[in-house]
Amino acid sequence: VKQVYTFGGDARHDDPRARDKLLLGGKGANLAEMASIGLPVPPGFTITTEECVKYLNEGADFSDALRAEVAGALGHIEKTVGKKLGDAADPLLVSVRSGARVSMPGMMDTVLNLGLNDETVVGLARTSGDERFAWDSYRRFIQMYSDVVLGLDHGLFEEALEIAKEDNGFLNDVEMGSKEWHALVDEYKAIVVAEQGEPFPQDVNDQLWGAIRAVFDSWDSERAKIYRRLNGIPADWGTAVNVQAMVFGNMGETSATGVAFTRDPSTGEKAYYGEWLANAQGEDVVAGIRTPQYLTRKAREDASAKPLSMQEAMPEAYGELEQVFGTLESHYRDMQDIEFTVERGKLWMLQTRTGKRTAKAALKMAVDMVGEGLIDEATAVARVDPMALDQLLHPTLDPDAPRDILGRGLPASPGAASGAIVLDADTAEKRAELGEAVILVRIETSPEDIHGMHAAKGILTARGGMTSHAAVVARGMGRPCVSGASGLSIDRNARTVRIGHRELREGEVITLDGASGDIMAGEVPTIEPELAGDFGTLMEWADGKRRMRVRTNAETPADCRMARQFGAEGIGLCRTEHMFFDEDRISAVRQMILAENEKGRRAALAKLLPEQRGDFHAIFEVMAGLPVTIRLLDPPLHEFLPQEDEDFEELADAIGIGADTLKRRAGELHEFNPMLGHRGCRLGITYPEIYEMQARAIFEAACDVAAQSGEAPIPEVMIPLVATRRELELMRTLVERVASAVFEEKGRELDYHVGTMIELPRASLMASEIAKEAAFFSFGTNDLTQTTLGISRDDAGRFLGTYVEKGVFARDPFVSIDRDGVGQLVRLGVERGRAERPDLKLGICGEHGGDPASIAFCEEVGLDYVSASPYRVPIARLAAAQAAL
Ligand code: ADP
Ligand code: MG
Ligand code: MG
């Protein structure tokens, strides 16, 4: 099978493999696609990801077949450009670029200007008529190749350049002339010999294969691995290699390089957006060495910046670029993120991909594009990442709160964050692990900082534009970021930063506003998010497409209210034990637990009844007209007991017995394995009076609310940890008995249901028996995961990370449901339960109810609803819609 595909020139793309993103990587496939729709793309070829995987697995050398294919494809470039690699008179130069299936910003390294050596540099100077350009390109090549392919310390080269500038009395690279670059090349070559004991490779074929090998190897670099782990990218995808004819943005003032988005990736505004630099090459724009300039006149004026925009400086090339934007958007029907170069006035496209965007921008673009007729509603719903909504649901800075502004940078990624200043990624990770909110403050970030950026609440950098590494990665992660804060300096030895005229120590708290670029001292208060507008529109479309209902897990009126605002259609899990911990009743709870006999327990329960009734009353008022699933007491009783001696004494005083007696009773409640101990319905079966009190509180409150408001809630009483039919039969009878009694006393009948959680493997297996007693099943997948895998959720932290790293689990099974194992039990429970009782209502109430991948699974097995924590409700609504599309 062919492993090398050409693009550009007269290359043909009719082989289906030649358009396959999985095979050619995103960059290669899109270069071919751009060429095929007639955009100006320098010719090149792509070596497949398949070849990379083979290379990494077999660790073998490149095959003769591959060498022959590459030689043929190189011929395609040479023929199209009319130059030959290594030709001393008129040399072809190429770039060697990595490109995985999904973009991994900055993870893989690119080598530019490959093909230069001591002879071809002379030819390049002659054919270009620009000596300075030729030697500048050669020194760039040696520096990049030495870093990426030879693995030499790039600091050595940077230092040599700094010294060269100093010696010549220059401030900027642009002041270096051909003579100075030539001299620097000699020094660079000397560094290479000193460092590796061998001269810089002069054979252009060795250069090419060395670079190809380096791209393949970079797939397994540390930073690529970290990025993959954070983004759930499989290790066995591999990367493609793209070899492409060079075009030069560094051929003087009529040349340039830049990056652009077809819409604003921060706000979603339909405005061209980007940065460019005249007389520059490749990474200069994103590396933050020179400050890039605005693309459009309007953006420059809005920022009251002086250096001319590309629109003003190169109107013709810019005009062409605008046309390309239009072509790309109507072809891809989505916002594109592109890289381009202008060589002596001629525009070349070097990359396009679907642009990363903030959640706010994703919403706006999706809604706008439906309005423009570019996409339909279903596409819009499918396009917004449910997890990204999280960014929008959280608070932003209170505009009326006083701000002590220290300085300002670029609004690189929106959202607000407060935290302690930390100066390096490792410290950020360490302090965040201890639960501290931190802001990572750096001169600029690099791929080595990713773990720290992930751990931080926000990121602040001194250098770099809106498309710098910090900005791109922060937007992808949903972290607020302020970049290019020129008034910021860092003293790494003293561990202090200076912002404007103020000095702060590491650990002092600052606040970032990623929407304005403001940097503030201390913590600034925040306000609730706006749920109307584009958010409301998209959620409405989503609601129109989903089949499953979305409920919430909540037990306080405040949470219930918030969840209703977020669109919850009922409560899927109200955990009554949370109410038992409240200060005003924990003492009564403890008296109940420590009572010697039923009489003592009933006395204590009598005190709890009005409290519980009050709890349910408040919740029913908020949820009137909607189903409310209430789980009766679930955790082992000793969880409520005092821990400290003085608490025991206080309690003993309150009850009027000795502290020692109390401690002895508490000791009797000790369990070796409480998770599998005296909990769930086992409590209700041994101490029926507890569940009786809870059932009474539920029905009394429901009747009261119905009498008050005319709109009755629909209580669904849920019995936890059922393994057998008999357990549920006993508990159902108990609840029904209490309900009848209350209805008689109150003189009104209400609709209600009794059902169970399915959270033990036996319950799933015996679902047809259990369904005889249940009006509904709610899959408690937290416990079901624990009990199926035999892994304690509370202790799994010690090894789950390693398990995921070593590929035992693809993802943490407590975050995303284990489809194959736990999922099979859910499926079984659904099938057997429904077969017995077709009207059985089915839902899920574990943490998985808010995880998009698990929600897709719930749709697949046909659950009626998912239930998620309040902030996850919109995420679940969107994910449920996507699952149904
Ligand atoms: P990354 O994936 O890190 O963005 P790229 O392969 O896109 O790496 O290369 C980085 C930059 O190098 C590009 O944005 C472009 O400016 C420059 N570049 C790559 N190939 C060429 C080329 N053939 N001619 C000119 N510049 C190039
Ligand atoms: Mg790129
Ligand atoms: Mg449970």
Which DSSP string corresponds to 110-162? -EEEET--TTHHHHHHHHHT-HHHHHHHHHHHHHHHHHHTS---HHHHHHHHH
Domain membership flag for residue 164 = yes
Task: Report pLDDT for 623.
Answer: 92
Atom of ligand 1 nearest to the CA of 98: 6
Task: Determine how many CB atoms are found less than 10 A away from the CB of residue 420.
Answer: 20
CA of 61 from ligand 1 middle (Å) equals 27
Atom of ligand 1 nearest to the CA of 244: 23
- 230 and 335 part of one domain: no
Q: Which parts of 399-521 fold into alpha helices (H)?
A: 425-433, 450-455, 469-477
Give the C-alpha separation, 280 to 258, whole Å: 9
Closest C-alpha residue for ligand 1 atom 6: 97
Domain membership flag for residue 493 = yes
Give the residue from 194, 226, 245 where a domain finishes: 245
Amino acid in the structure at residue 779 = F
- 73 and 165 part of one domain: yes
CA of 794 from ligand 1 middle (Å) equals 47
Domain membership flag for residue 38 = no
Beta strands in 559-623 (DSSP E): 571-575
Catalytic residue among 560, 574, 703, 845: 845
DSSP letter (8 states) at residue 850: G
- For residues 873 and 566, the answer to whether their CB atoms sit within 8 Å is yes
- For residues 779 and 867, the answer to whether their CB atoms sit within 8 Å is no
- 300 and 238 part of one domain: no
Closest C-alpha residue for ligand 1 atom 8: 110
Domain membership flag for residue 676 = no
- 76 and 166 part of one domain: yes
Give the residue from 511, 527, 543 where a domain finishes: 527
Task: Report pLDDT for 105.
Answer: 57
Instruction: Name the residue with tokens 């691995």.
Output: 225
- 309 and 161 part of one domain: no
Give the C-alpha separation, 116 to 110, whole Å: 16
**Both structure tokens of 711:** 């709109």
Q: Helix %, strand %, coil % for the chain, to 5?
A: 50, 15, 35
Give the residue from 198, 213, 245 where a domain finishes: 245
pTM of structure: 0.80
Mutate to test the pocket of ligand 1, among 107, 143, 246, 351 (most ligand atoms within 8 A of CB): 351
- 303 and 186 part of one domain: no
- Active site annotation includes 703: no
The boundaries of the domain holding residue 84 are 50-245
Task: Report pLDDT for 287.
Answer: 66
Give the C-alpha separation, 443 to 777, whole Å: 55
CA of 671 from ligand 1 middle (Å) equals 63
Please give the ipTM for the structure prediction: 0.95
Domain membership flag for residue 429 = yes
Strand partners, 94: 114, 245
Of 543, 546, 573, nearest to 560 by C-alpha is 573
Q: What is the CATH number of the domain that holds 215?
A: 3.30.1490.20
- 235 and 281 part of one domain: no
- 241 and 266 part of one domain: no
Give the C-alpha separation, 39 to 349, whole Å: 7
Three-state SS for 37? coil
- 223 and 291 part of one domain: no
Domain membership flag for residue 721 = no
Mutate to test the pocket of ligand 1, among 92, 98, 110 (most ligand atoms within 8 A of CB): 110
Give the C-alpha separation, 110 to 242, whole Å: 9
Of 240, 176, 161, 246, nearest to 204 by C-alpha is 246
> What is the tally of structural domains in the chain?
4
CA of 104 from ligand 2 middle (Å) equals 10
Closest C-alpha residue for ligand 1 atom 27: 282
User: At 7, phi and psi to the nearest 5?
Assistant: -140, 165
Task: Report pLDDT for 838.
Answer: 97
- For residues 50 and 4, the answer to whether their CB atoms sit within 8 Å is no
CA of 437 from ligand 3 middle (Å) equals 31
Strand partners, 552: 571, 868
Burial of 753 (0-12, 13-18, 19+ CB in 10 A): middle
508 is in an annotated binding site: no
- 80 and 216 part of one domain: yes
- For residues 746 and 700, the answer to whether their CB atoms sit within 8 Å is yes
CB-based contacts of 451: which residues, under 8 Å, 6+ apart?
226, 230, 425, 428, 429
140 is in an annotated binding site: no
- 215 and 288 part of one domain: no
783 is in an annotated binding site: yes
744 is in an annotated binding site: no
CA of 34 from ligand 2 middle (Å) equals 15
Q: What is the CATH number of the domain that holds 493?
A: 3.50.30.10
- Active site annotation includes 469: yes
Catalytic residue among 469, 481, 574, 858: 469
**Both structure tokens of 278:** 């005249």
Give the C-alpha separation, 81 to 77, whole Å: 6
Mutate to test the pocket of ligand 1, among 80, 97, 468 (most ligand atoms within 8 A of CB): 97
Strand partners, 518: 408, 513
Task: Report pLDDT for 1.
Answer: 87
Q: What is the CATH number of the domain that holds 271?
A: 3.30.470.20
Question: Please, what are the averages of pLDDT over each run of 10 residues along the chain (885 residues)?
Answer: 94 84 94 95 97 88 93 98 97 95 71 97 96 95 94 93 94 90 97 97 97 91 83 88 96 94 93 93 73 92 92 97 97 96 97 91 96 97 91 79 92 88 95 92 87 93 82 78 92 94 95 91 86 92 98 90 93 89 81 89 94 95 94 91 81 81 86 92 97 98 93 94 98 98 96 97 98 98 95 82 84 91 98 98 93 97 95 94 97
Give the C-alpha separation, 532 to 528, whole Å: 12
Closest C-alpha residue for ligand 1 atom 13: 282
- Which H, E and C letters describe 541-555, residue by residue? HHHHHCCCEEEEECC
Residue ranges around ligand 1 (CB below 6 Å): 42, 95, 97, 106, 110, 112, 244-247, 257, 282-283, 339, 341, 350-351
The ligand minimizing its distance to the Cα of 248 is 1
The helix (run of H) or strand (run of E) holding residue 260 is strand 256-261
Domain membership flag for residue 446 = yes
Domain membership flag for residue 37 = no
DSSP letter (8 states) at residue 489: E
575 is in an annotated binding site: yes
The helix (run of H) or strand (run of E) holding residue 185 is helix 178-196
Instruction: Name the residue with tokens 């006149």.
Output: 297
- 109 and 238 part of one domain: yes
